[in-house]
Chain A
């Protein structure tokens, strides 16, 4: 089920209503049932896959924990990770591996032994990628590794099933940490009026990001990437910048809706974005973009590989490997591999520069100057944009075509639809309204801060009832209503799936 579909607009209020009406003991079961319904709405059979992986990881987690000193622990961990990764590999990478193998064989003038390959014009194996598999596989690996390291497992199978299937984060994250989730279950999730309204606000904001901004930018991006040879220099840049914001609004919109939905149920999901395009370095970018993935990659890949403890060259190699695999996690294609390598190299250069700034006073002075800081913002944004070309392109020739349009001076063809799609759309209006919303959300935060700082004052008159409807909550409610009304004018005919659903 898509967050931006009518079905979800019916499903969520129903689940929230029933959830708060049923006794505490039943709440978790209700959420599991709702989550499986949500997951199986589009493709029923993969509900069994989720169920099987949940059962397997639950059992493995408990066995690893019980075999605390036994040498078999490590073997069980490896088996668990292999179980998860092989499931991911079968569904996500089979065609990619076979296609690459066939391509290599044909390049070496060998006969094709495996009858599948896109490059050779033969159809791929008919494998449909289960929604959200990349995300829940990472959550399972985190679970097993943390238990191996000594954390307590989730004892209740119901709680574990809820952790694995929780619908607000099921399809595209944020990638949860089970300790935090379990702690919330211990504390018996509850919700105040203020939390409830801020949840509604997050949902409204997320829908606006997705429908009014992300979906409206999609035709601009499509016009450019479908025909890169028609784009002039300006169109090339407009197209790639449009994609940078499309993917941001699409994914952060999804996260907002997920986090908002969780809030309505009394749960809190981790933040995934923090204004990534104002990052002053690539390192900072990855602290602001898809935060739950970058922290996962750091904790479960970069650090186990050796992290930054070894020589500089080893650290650079670790960064490169981490980002390469991070790229491959996004999609089974060479463009994603190159995207990962691109960021790995970028982070290694970033690290080298930071080390030089630590060692040399002159470099440090330059590093702290406004010129270097400004250049940092610009260069980071340019690097991120350049990376997005690889991320969006279907293949390398397409990416090369877009790079050509960006980095060579040329006029657009009369048939290039990029500028037309941008200026003849509701995008400028959506941006103006979004800025208005952004400013109002800052104002609400200020109000919240003011209210919490003045919480020492206790007044009995007017009666305490009035404090149950605080101003920030009312503002959240009002703005959510405003967004809902305005958004009616932005919806398009077809419901567009979220970009990260394909991963």
Chain B
């Protein structure tokens, strides 16, 4: 057995040395042979994950999550949350303390300020561009450029919102801000999203139903189904990660993108998850929904106010296309589509009547802005005609952005759009149209 000095000397000279280990040493060595590497491996993994979180944090990437479950509206924005959007265009922004895709706004209206509340879906939310480049703020800038009156625009836009959500949003979230003008940015499919029969809603939402006595009621059945689902409970359970881990948020976002882009991914994910589905469901069923708070009083108030407003508004029909006379040659499919569009629009018209009344009750003027759509959207253009007719009857304003916007066929090939949403150029054009349309209303 060499001495330690000989051992070191041999190694430093590049000679081989042999060491005979006794049984205890060998056992100790075996124990260490897997324990130490395992510890090193775990430490390295943790270190790398922390480093990646740190790098993503300082570069402002991986803040992809922005949605939270709301038992009244279906979904709203997470509050006080940085948000990176990369699916289409690119933006970094911070969601406000009350969950608006906007700067902070005080609840109390400042003296001498006229407030404009913008309600709408993802087109208004405009995650594809930074907040100052959204048409909401461009309209504000343009109106303030005159200098006579100070205007404050607030963006209440939220992806996937339909007209019924915007109506409920007005009653619960918008009205407390005392807006002088309520601008509802209307878009294709907004009308169909009001009904549970639409069935293709990707996010939870309240819907409406009309009973045999022709009374319109807010229906939470569809939303409650979502609230009880394992995936919603999983969202609630993983709330901390969804707010704080950039890696986790990126994984969720990539998962969503891959599900629409790769059939392989969808199929593999389904197969991999299948054996765990039962365990997952039973585990998630034990997750409490207590974090959603006591929402029943708010729901009750909304339902009652809706019933009250519905009794006060006209139920006259607005859709005037006689399918049998006008489209004899179009066939059964066209008739079916027309019937569906008529049914949806009649409901939408009633919601707009109620919204207009609610606005008037709170001294706010309703303005509806139908956004452009591809020129083959036949029924959407009929909806706009209905809205114009309704506006004349009920005394609100429609600013038709479709007529002044470049022809969109197909939409995504136009420089005003990225793919499905406005580019900065599109926002500038929409802002110009809205500002020009609002000026006569403001001067009244």
Bits for B54-91, please: 1 = Cβ < 8 Å to A, else 0.
01100111101000000000000000000010111111
Q: Are B52 and A486 in contact (CB under 8 A)?
A: yes
* Residue pair A426, B415 in contact (C-beta under 8 Å): no
What is the 8 Å Cβ interface bit string for chain A, positions 457-469, against chain B (1 contact, 0 not)?
A: 1111101010001
Cβ–Cβ contact A417 & B424, under 8 A: yes
Contact A478 B44 (CB under 8 A): yes
Nearest CB of chain B from residue A120's CB, rounded to whole Å? 23
Q: How far is the CB of A34 from chain B (nearest CB, A)?
A: 16
Decide: A493 and B87 in contact? CB cutoff 8 A: yes
Is B202's beta carbon under 8 Å from chain A? no
Closest-CB distance, B124 to chain A (whole angstroms): 19
The answer on a CB contact under 8 Å between A424 and B261 is: no
Does A425 touch B at the CB level, under 8 Å?
yes
B60 contacts which chain A residues (CB < 8 A)?
429
- Distance in angstroms from A44 CB to nearest chain B CB is 16
Write out the residue numbers on chain B whose beta carbons fall within 8 Å of the beta carbon of A469.
Answer: 37
In the complex, B441 has a CB within 8 A of chain A: no
| Cβ-defined contact, A10 with B268, below 8 A | yes
Task: Give the interface segment out of B175-183, B251-259, B275-283, B381-389.
Answer: B251-259
Give the number of chain B interface residues (Cβ < 8 Å). 52
Q: Mark A407-427, 1 if CB is under 8 A from B, else 0.
A: 000000011010010001110
Residue B298 at the chain A interface, CB threshold 8 Å: no
A10 touches B48 (CB 8 A): no
Q: A491 to B17, Cβ gap below 8 A?
A: no
Nearest CB to that of B19 among chain A residues?
A461
The reply to whether the CB of B138 lies closer than 8 angstroms to some CB of chain A is no
Contact of B90 among A226, A424, A458, A481 (CB under 8 A): A424
Nearest A residue to B419, CB-CB:
A493
CA distance A495 to B257 in the complex (A): 10
User: What's the nearest-Cβ distance from chain A to residue B229, in Å?
Assistant: 25
- Assembly CA distance A457 to B15 (angstroms): 7
Q: Of residues 447 to 478 in A, which have CB atoms within 8 Å of B's CB atoms?
A: 456-461, 463, 465, 469, 474, 478
A10 touches B19 (CB 8 A): no
Query: Which one of B16, B17, B59 lies within 8 Å of A426 (CB-CB)?
Result: B59
Q: Are A494 and B261 in contact (CB under 8 A)?
A: yes
Q: Would A482 and B425 be within 8 Å (CB), given that A458-B14, A461-B17, A489-B62 are in contact?
A: no
A420 to B12, CA, bound (A): 60
Q: For this complex, into which size category does the number of interface residues on chain A fall?
A: 35 or more
Q: Cβ of A493 and Cβ of B45 under 8 Å apart? A: no
Query: Residues of A contacting B12 with CB < 8 Å?
Result: 457
Contact A488 B254 (CB under 8 A): yes
A contact patch SS? loop
Which residues from B are CB-within-8-Å of A486? Answer: 52, 55-56
Shortest Cβ gap from B131 to chain A (Å): 12
User: A421-444: contact bitstring with B at CB < 8 Å (1 yes, 0 no)?
Assistant: 000111001001100100000000
A22 at the interface (CB under 8 A from B): no
Chain A CB within 8 A of B295 CB? no
- Minimum CB–CB distance from B369 to chain A (whole Å) comes to 22
Please state if A485 and B130 are interface contacts (CB–CB under 8 Å): no
Residues of B within 8 A of A492 (CB): 86-87, 257
Quote the shortest CB–CB distance from B9 to chain A (angstroms).
Answer: 12
A459 near B59: Cβ-Cβ < 8 Å: no
Name the contact of B261 in the complex, choosing from A414, A415, A493 (C-beta under 8 A). A493
- The verdict on A482 contacting B59 (CB below 8 Å), with A6-B262, A415-B425, A492-B86 known, is no
Q: Do A478 and B250 have beta carbons less than 8 Å apart?
A: no
The contact string, 1 if C-beta is below 8 Å from chain A, for chain B 15-51, is 1111100000000010001000100000011001101
Q: B115 within 8 Å of A by Cβ?
A: no
* Contact status of A460 and B258, CB under 8 A, knowing A489-B62, A489-B250: no
Closest chain A residue to B32, Cβ basis: A462
Cα A460 to Cα B2 in complex, Å, equals 13
Residue of A nearest to B423 (CB): A417
User: In chain B, what residue has the closest Cβ to A7?
Assistant: B264
Q: Say whether B61 contacts A429, CB under 8 Å.
A: yes
Q: How far is the CA of A226 from the CA of B423 in the complex (A)?
A: 14
Q: How far is the CA of A501 from the CA of B261 in the complex (A)?
A: 20
Interchain CB contact under 8 A, A457 and B261: no
Contacts of A491 in B (CB 8 A): 86, 250, 254, 257
Q: Does A490 contact B (CB under 8 A)?
A: yes
A selection of 12 A-B contacts at a CB cut-off of 8 Å is A415-B428, A417-B415, A426-B90, A429-B60, A459-B16, A461-B19, A481-B45, A482-B51, A486-B56, A488-B247, A488-B250, A492-B87
Name 16 extra pairs, CB < 8 A, besides A417-B424, A474-B44, A489-B86.
Answer: A415-B425, A424-B130, A426-B59, A426-B61, A426-B90, A433-B59, A460-B16, A465-B33, A478-B48, A486-B52, A486-B55, A488-B250, A488-B254, A489-B250, A490-B61, A495-B262
- The 10 A-B residue pairs with the shortest CB-CB distance, nearest first, are A429-B59, A488-B250, A489-B62, A485-B52, A489-B61, A489-B250, A6-B262, A457-B14, A6-B265, A493-B87
A interface list, Cβ under 8 A from B: 5-7, 10, 226-227, 414-415, 417, 420, 424-426, 429, 432-433, 436, 456-461, 463, 465, 469, 474, 478, 481-482, 485-486, 488-495
Residue numbers of B with Cβ under 8 A of A are: 7, 11-12, 14-19, 29, 33, 37, 44-45, 48-49, 51-52, 55-56, 59-62, 64, 84, 86-91, 129-130, 246-247, 250-251, 254, 257-258, 260-262, 264-265, 268, 415, 423-425, 428
